């Protein structure tokens, strides 16, 4: 049994751009962050960057980070640390500027660590409880960053859908921080992976908390190619399962039908059944139905064929061999060469006319980077296309 302060409690607050910083502090207090997080150790802020380009609801918001820092510092937390990871398709160093995260962490003198850089030690971790899948995905050992052990951790996700997990939130936010670049190997068992990572988090973090931003919320093929909606809502909890369950409920999904929430609930890592969750603050029962839908992109449909469909026998060849860069090319090409310039940019321009978009613009230098088809991305795409063509030709030659 896992017991901790704040288990089964989620705080919810409706907010406005004018009151957002005060509302972040309020929702964190309602969720009991001081009881959940010891003050005499480093407290990490696990910032989410799902895209190096700003898109509403995609990545942690600057006001989410600023509000958390202000609330923590006012409560006497003096040792704060921003925590970043990268992915094979997202450049974090670019993303923290484009998403205006760096403008906030620099303003409040909060240093950041970048877990993918070479000076960080990754060590084999053997948890106290048996793992569900990670030891099978990584038979040579499950490695995590040593820097995170013994640190409080605050997850900073947004409210949005996801092509693989239906919704993504606090539990998924640990995915990037605890697993290295080969974490895509777990996508075929992603739900049980998130449960394993939550077990590990409970063992290595003295305090665990989540602050979720739903000022903009994302619907559709998340975490990037979404439709944005203004929802003016904040959630906070020391229970990663419960906060994800309430986020799922608000979006219109049955939390207990989502495997990662149900398994975590059954293993007593948190409370996933909304009927058993205590809501503090705003009564979510009065919130109009959102009716969000989980959808796929062209790229995610192809990935699902590899993980669960007709291409499953070729999963290791396609995703764990020297030809794996083809998959990075496919994702980069779809999102950065096609989707953002031709679909996403118009949605971003519309969002910038929204009050939350105007608040976003006000951070940093007041500029918003809205890239077109960047030469670097086009060159990467062409290189990937050449490699993929060579692979196909080689396969045809071998077959003949």
What pLDDT, on the 0 to 100 scale, is given for residue 2? 74
Residues 6+ apart with CB under 8 A from 6: 31, 32, 35, 36, 209, 237, 238, 239
∠ CA 290-233-294, rounded to 5°: 35
CATH of the domain at 99: 3.40.50
What pLDDT, on the 0 to 100 scale, is given for residue 296? 79
DSSP 261: H
Domain assignment of residue 233, yes or no: yes
What does the alpha-carbon distance between residue 6 and residue 35 come to, in Å, rounded to a whole number? 8
Domain assignment of residue 263, yes or no: yes
What does the alpha-carbon distance between residue 177 and residue 18 come to, in Å, rounded to a whole number? 32
Domain assignment of residue 258, yes or no: yes
Domain assignment of residue 55, yes or no: yes
What pLDDT, on the 0 to 100 scale, is given for residue 299? 65
- Domain of residue 85 covers 9-295
Domain assignment of residue 364, yes or no: no
What angle, rounded to 10 degrees, do the helices at 375-399 and 325-332 form?
Answer: 130
Domain count across the chain: 1
Q: Which two tokens stand for residue 66?
A: 């600023």
What pLDDT, on the 0 to 100 scale, is given for residue 396? 42
What does the alpha-carbon distance between residue 267 and residue 249 come to, in Å, rounded to a whole number? 20
Q: Which two tokens stand for residue 250?
A: 């608000």
Domain assignment of residue 153, yes or no: yes
The structure's pTM equals 0.90
* Residue numbers of the chain with a pLDDT score lower than 70: 1, 87-89, 118, 181, 298-312, 314-330, 373-400
Q: Find residue 113's DSSP bridge partners.
A: 83
Domain assignment of residue 1, yes or no: no
Is the Cβ–Cβ distance between 139 and 194 less than 8 Å?
no
| Beta strands, E only, the chain | 9-14, 43-47, 80-84, 112-114, 122-124, 143-145, 152-156, 158-162, 166-168, 208-219, 227-237, 278-281
Domain assignment of residue 155, yes or no: yes
List Cα–Cα distances, 222 to 107, 123, 213, 306, in angstroms: 30, 31, 15, 19
Neighbours of 169 (CB within 10 A): 29
Residues 6+ apart with CB under 8 A from 287: 233, 250
Is the Cβ–Cβ distance between 217 and 161 less than 8 Å?
no
What does the alpha-carbon distance between residue 195 and residue 171 come to, in Å, rounded to a whole number? 8
What pLDDT, on the 0 to 100 scale, is given for residue 187? 82
What pLDDT, on the 0 to 100 scale, is given for residue 398? 42
């Amino acid at each position: 049994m896992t017991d901790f302060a704040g288990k089964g409690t989620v705080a919810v607050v409706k907010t406005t751009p004018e009151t957002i910083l005060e509302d972040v502090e309020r929702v964190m207090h309602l969720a009991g962050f001081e009881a959940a997080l010891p003050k005499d150790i480093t407290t990490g802020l696990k910032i989410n960057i799902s895209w190096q380009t700003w898109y509403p609801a995609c990545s942690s918001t600057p006001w989410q980070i600023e509000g958390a820092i202000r609330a923590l510092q006012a409560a006497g937390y003096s040792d704060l640390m921003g925590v970043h990871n990268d992915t094979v398709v997202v450049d974090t160093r670019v993303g923290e500027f484009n998403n205006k995260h760096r403008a906030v962490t620099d303003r409040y003198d909060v240093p950041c660590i970048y877990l993918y850089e070479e000076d960080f030690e990754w060590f084999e971790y053997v948890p106290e409880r048996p793992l569900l899948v990670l030891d099978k995905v990584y038979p040579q050992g499950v490695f995590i960053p040593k820097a995170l052990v013994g640190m409080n951790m605050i997850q900073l996700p947004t409210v949005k859908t996801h092509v693989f997990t239906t919704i993504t939130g606090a539990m998924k936010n640990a995915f990037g921080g605890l697993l290295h670049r080969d974490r895509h190997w777990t996508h075929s068992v992603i739900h049980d992976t998130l449960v394993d990572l939550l077990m590990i988090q409970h063992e290595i973090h003295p305090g665990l908390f989540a602050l979720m931003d739903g000022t903009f919320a994302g619907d559709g093929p998340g975490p990037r190619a979404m439709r944005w909606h203004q929802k003016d809502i904040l959630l906070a909890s020391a229970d990663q399962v419960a906060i994800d369950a309430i986020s799922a409920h608000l979006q219109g999904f049955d939390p207990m039908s989502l495997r990662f929430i149900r398994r975590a609930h059954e293993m007593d890592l948190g409370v996933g059944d909304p009927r058993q969750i205590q809501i503090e603050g705003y009564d979510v029962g009065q919130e109009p139905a959102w009716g969000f839908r989980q959808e796929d992109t062209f790229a995610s449909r192809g990935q699902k064929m590899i993980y669960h469909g007709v291409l499953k026998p070729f999963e290791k060849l396609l995703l764990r061999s020297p030809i794996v860069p083809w998959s990075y090319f496919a994702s980069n090409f779809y999102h950065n060469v096609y989707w953002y310039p031709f679909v996403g940019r118009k949605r971003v321009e519309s969002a910038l006319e929204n009050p939350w978009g105007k608040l976003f613009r006000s951070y940093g230098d007041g500029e918003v980077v809205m890239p077109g088809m960047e030469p670097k991305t086009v060159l990467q795409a062409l290189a990937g296309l050449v490699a993929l063509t060579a692979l196909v030709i080689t396969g045809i030659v071998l077959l003949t």
